[in-house]
Structure 1
Amino acid sequence: MTLWVLTILGLVALIAVDFFIGRKPHDVSIKEAGIWTVVWIVLAALFGVGLLIWGNSQASGEFFAGFITEKSLSVDNLFVFILIMAKFSVPSQLQQRVLLFGVLIALVLRAIFIAAGAAVIANFSWVFYIFGAFLIYTAWKLIQEAMSDDEEDEFEENRLLKSIEKKFGVADRYHGTKLFIRVNGKRILTPLMVVMLAIGTTDVLFAMDSIPAIFGLTQDPYIVFTANAFALMGLRQLYFLIGGLLRKLVYLSYGLSVILGFIGVKLVLHALHESGVHVPEISIPVSLAVICGVLAITTIASLIASKKQAQKQALDGGDDGDQDGDATDGARKDSIKA
């Protein structure tokens, strides 16, 4: 209990520092986002080393495997965050505030998921079969979506968000950093509050696969929680740092599907082992190597493919002549607006 209390107090202190440094609404520069991204990664690394020194190598390995997995899955979340920001036309200077509170809501909801998952696992070991099957199914769905030509280009509000908007009402414009305003004596939400709730509650959908995935790497609730916390708290800065590069990660879904499928198989093998069936289990070092290897190959392959595509488009554009150049510029402008 002492360790949990100290850890939560430490995270709250870090969050407070992050909030007060960036409390004034402003456009986040690449330099600022880069510095804070490095800070959160370094803090996560120091925490993992601390587990190695004061704990053991297994705990440290499980944390790093969980952190890298959650971080990679969180990058996929950024695509949806971009859609949410676009749908609600969030001013650029308010986006960092939206992400901060949205991530905090997500962290609280994930903590509830983790507590529930830990309780279920402690009492029903057969749940590993369900987790494993679900991850393998999710991996297959990711591959199907990646191979499909249809792209999700619009964010749809969930039922909870729609009911909140209907009950409280929403202002027709942003009012700085205010979350509530009074109109004709009635207290209503501002669009800023709605966007925060949208990001926070939408993350619950992502937790449906990320929580079982990390429980496939460790059954220690403390490591599951801290890995999620460090992965989420650096997500805001990562949004501004690689937001423009996300479209270049064309094979990200394939890489994530391999990771989820691998962890799903690992969970099934663990469940069989717990049931008394003599099957080999996948160790944490092997898991860590597979996760890092898949992410490295996915990133390199994505960047190479994106570069070739850009070169092909440049050559095709050059062959069209000046007359088609204006049309291309117009198409690009329409694409940016979309």
Structure 2
Amino acid sequence: MPADGASAGYDLRHHGDREATAGLIDLAVNVRVPQPPRWLLERVAASLAGLAAYPDPARATAAVASRHGRPAREVLLTSGAAEAFVLLARALRPRRPVVVHPQFTEPEAALAAAGHRVGRAILSAADGFELDPAGVPDDADLVIIGNPTNPTAVLHPAARIAALAKPGRILVADEAFIDAIPGEAESLAARRDLPGLIVIRSLTKTWGLAGLRAGYLLAAADLVERLRAAQPLWSVSAPALAAAEACSEPRALAEAEHLARQAAVDREYLEQRLYALPGVDLPAVRPREPRARAPFVLVHTPGADKIRLRLRERGFALRRADTFPGLGPNWLRIAVRAPEVTDALIAAWPR
């Protein structure tokens, strides 16, 4: 697999920020707020006075550990969730790594760049992108899956993902969007009994911190040490550490829960408006019990690639989805926004 991220026609290094050109209404990037809340900006700003010192992750690590009820030795702070995937690729030596697709492409891109030959388990739109553990090769010794999954928005049952864990296998659950789910339903962050489990979290999406790069992973202490050994010194800046500590406090968790509940309401409204459009299908929202829960919607419609370009001309940036393995030019991903933004999008939609 080429190290530049291109694989079998998929541009694995393409992300929504390339769609969100200045001047367009951004429905391509899944960051949920236009800027961090004031209290968080103040905490980050306060850290700037200490920039002469090398960053010490101890306090932020303890805060994240306390937030998840785990010892500090089972937490590794990272420069965004994306760094965690690079560390996996550098530190681990899997014989048969498998990524469950469609999903965020950076894990596969990072593995490929490190010289690993990556296999894929492709979930089917006909099944609403539902995970069947039997579809993952039994001899896979590294399995990566998003929950909820980007771009399908499917929230897989925690028990189904847990069924993938077994001795001799590293199981990575990318939970970058789980704090956008009320109650963080189906999270595996508290599971310390599953062999080889690594849970990856991001602070980017809920708190508007894409430019700061703040994330972390949770795993058994021996796994954390293997990954820490592959991490550059001081890779997480003092401002990012301040953000990680602040976002782990009870006030922040309560605010995140409120935002998650509001996003669920806004998502349902977007789904209803999209379903009224001719030719538009939302496979992960069918059948009556929808699997899609994340703050973005995956849409299938004939000519989606052309619709996306027409909408750009009318002021809207949507995420092309043909860069995700398992999808093609008739797919789009749309970030959940306030109802008035949804109404404007539907009014602009080409008929």
Alignment TM-score, normalising by the size of structure 1: 0.27
The structure having more radius of gyration, on CA atoms, is 1
Structure with greater contact order relative to length (CA < 8 Å, sep ≥ 6): 1
Bigger proportion of residues as helix: 1
With normalisation by structure 2, the TM-score equals 0.27
